Structure 1
Amino acid sequence: MGKIRVAMYVTLDGVMEDPSWTAPYWNDEIAKFQLDLLFASDALLLGRITYEEFAAAWPSATDEEGFADKMNSIPKYVVTATLKEAEWNAQFIKGNITEEIEKLKATDQNLLVYGSGELIEALMEEKLIDEFHLMVFPIVVGSGKQLFKEGIEQTELELAESSTTETGVVISSYVPE
């Protein structure tokens, strides 16, 4: 059975939106963590907004480590009710997303979720997330879209791993209990 892994940048006050605030804290430790996570994944699972943002930015990106090549070549499964034309190595998931995602997991694919707040909420409701990888940046931005919205069902998680970068970013990995 494949796993669904969520990788998310978040501020101390829980904001995940527009992560331009990550730049001053970015370093080789975060880059390696992200590279390892991506290379351990078989496909991306994205919401429409994140897919559109990534599809606009990544196809022209390059780097020596191969991150951009992997991002561009890996299959993308996009949960959308509105998109009609798939590009950037993508397939759309429409209709019963729980059923479709369960089918993907059954194929032994490890799926990585970036961004995609509404998708994460839906996956949490169905208890489909196997790992949370949170990179908590030492900044409070005061407003913006929260990773976990008010009223979400209580979910117990177990800390699997944690480290702190030289720039003060806490990288924590959690699994549902």
Structure 2
Amino acid sequence: MSKIVALVYLSLDGVMENPAWTGPYFDEEHGAYQRERLFASDALLLGRETYEGFVKAWPGMTDEDGFADRMNSMPKHVVSTTLETTEWNATLAKGGDDLAQEVAALKERYERDVLVYGSGALIRSLVAEGLVDELKLWIHPVVVGEGKRLFPEGTGMSQWTPAGTRTFSSGALILDYRPSGA
């Protein structure tokens, strides 16, 4: 059975929207970590907005280490109440009241991680339903000042247990959490 692992780029002030501000921190060390996470996963679970951004960018990409091939070939599951069709090896998951059942089915279907990139609204829904097994917050040493936050004001409380950290030479770090009691 797989785990749902959410990997989120965040600024020091908690912004996750339009993470172009991560660019100056991305180097070989960051690339190796991204490759490690992607190759440890059997599928992607994406929200509509992240999916639409990825499907515009990834299908034409290539690289020497196989990251683009892996990203393009692996199964993707897109949670959306508005999309009618998908492409890029993606299957539509309607979400809503059936989200917990659909995620449970994904966890049974795959052996290794199901990786969630970005997808703030989806992650908030998954957290609220207790469906995230691991939350990896990739904190970048920058204050963005404005933009969507992973957990905006009014988000219900949930408790998490630290499960590890990783520090990069760029000053970015990953805080790894699991739901308390898990």
**TM-score normalised by length of structure 1:** 0.96
Q: Distance in 2 between matches of 1:171 and 1:30?
A: 11
| 1:108 shift after superposition | 3.5
Match of 2:135 in 1: 132
Match of 1:112 in 2: 115
Q: Secondary structure at the match of 2:158?
A: coil
Match of 2:77 in 1: 77
Match of 1:102 in 2: 104
Q: Secondary structure at the match of 2:62?
A: coil
Match of 1:64 in 2: 64
4+ runs deviating over 4 angstroms: none
Amino acid at match of 2:45: L
Q: Distance in 1 between matches of 2:108 and 2:75?
A: 16
| 1:107 shift after superposition | 2.1
Q: Distance in 2 between matches of 1:126 and 1:67?
A: 31
Where structure 2 has 5 or more consecutive residues not aligned to the other structure, the ranges are none
Amino acid at match of 2:79: V
After TM superposition, list the pairs within 5 Å mapping 1:42-57 onto structure 2: 42-57=42-57
Q: Secondary structure at the match of 1:100?
A: helix
Match of 2:126 in 1: 123
Where structure 1 has 5 or more consecutive residues not aligned to the other structure, the ranges are none
Q: Secondary structure at the match of 1:22?
A: helix
| 1:71 shift after superposition | 0.5
Match of 1:166 in 2: 169
After TM superposition, list the pairs within 5 Å mapping 1:30-45 onto structure 2: 30-45=30-45
Q: What are the Cα deviations for residues 96-144 of structure 1, in whole angstroms up to 9, with x where unaligned?
A: 1221111111224421000111100110011000001111000001000
**How many pairs align?**
177
Q: What are the Cα deviations for residues 52-99 of structure 1, in whole angstroms up to 9, with x where unaligned?
A: 100000001111111111100000000011112220000000151221
Match of 1:28 in 2: 28
Q: Secondary structure at the match of 1:155?
A: coil
Identity %: 51
| 1:160 shift after superposition | 1.4
Amino acid at match of 2:172: V
**TM-score normalised by length of structure 2:** 0.93
Q: Distance in 2 between matches of 1:163 and 1:45?
A: 23
Q: Secondary structure at the match of 1:172?
A: strand
Q: Distance in 1 between matches of 2:155 and 2:127?
A: 9
